[in-house]
Structure 1
Amino acid sequence: MSGPPHRATVRDRVTEIFRAGMPQVEGRVFRARTWSLQEGDFPALLVYGWQEELKRLGGTSAQSRFQASWILGVEVRVRDRSRDAEEVEAELEELTGLARDLVLTNAGLVIGPARVIERVEGVKTTLGIDTRSSELALGRGLLAFEFIWPETFNVEQPDSGCCVGPDVALRPVLAPSAP
């Protein structure tokens, strides 16, 4: 498991989990940090990569092993037609809680041959409701999932220019015996 394609795989898998387990947002789960949401697009989820950190676990000069720690952001957006912030907050609480639980209880992420992460290290949830700018109450929740998995990087060996292949064994040359 290494590189950007793996992060995309994790993002895709989490997006699939939401599409299958959250009928409230049917057709409105997007794999992007920003999305032009229209009036009928709420509630919606935005699923995106946020931050990655690699910590070296060991290895050699030719191969390095790391622990990847990656933050996946999931933004939950809800909007109501009134300034009833309590209703918006209740919907936001429900959807962020459901999204969190779906990821934390999905065995396919961490168990079996199709697993894509080693473990979920943590989750942070932040809720916010904005009623200042219009007649609409806009609710946003951010879930930050920290996923852990191992990565191994192999350093390409430079061409030595020697014509001897890897299957040829070199033998020591003995010094001539003294007369």
Structure 2
Amino acid sequence: MKKVGGAYEGTLLDRPDVGRLSILRFGTWDPSEFPVEDLVKAGLAITEIGLRSPKMQILGGTIIVDLENITLRHVATLTPTVAYQIVALMGAANPTTAKALHIINYSWILNTFFYLFKQFIHRDAMRKIFFHGYDLKSLQKHIDLECLPERYGGVCGGKTPT
């Protein structure tokens, strides 16, 4: 878990409208330090720990994937197997309710490689995925400012452990 550093920022407030809000910042991961598979394994461990909480089982969760600082080095690690594992980790193979997945701070790189992920995502799940680019106002329309950290224009400063 120490290896992945800030890639899995943690979770913020649990609320019925959002569930458990988790923030993933994959641009903080250095692909030369450890393989993408370790990132996926850490995500699975964090998810399993969260699922032990009855509150999480009931409320479900919302995920913000912040792709700021993603480079071609990051994208080059995405094989179809890894893409499938990431999509499964984000809800397709989880026994909890995924309320929404918000993807922010991305460039043309995401548009190029989204097709790799899209083939693994069920149509019903696609309705819960929102692409905001660099438009934080768009994100704020979906998630209350009280739930968002200051970096995303919110007022939530407190973090709770995962």
Which structure has the larger Rg? 1
Which structure: greater strand fraction? 1
Whether the TM-score (by the shorter chain) exceeds 0.5 is no
Relative to the length of structure 1, the TM-score reads: 0.27
Which structure: greater helix fraction? 2
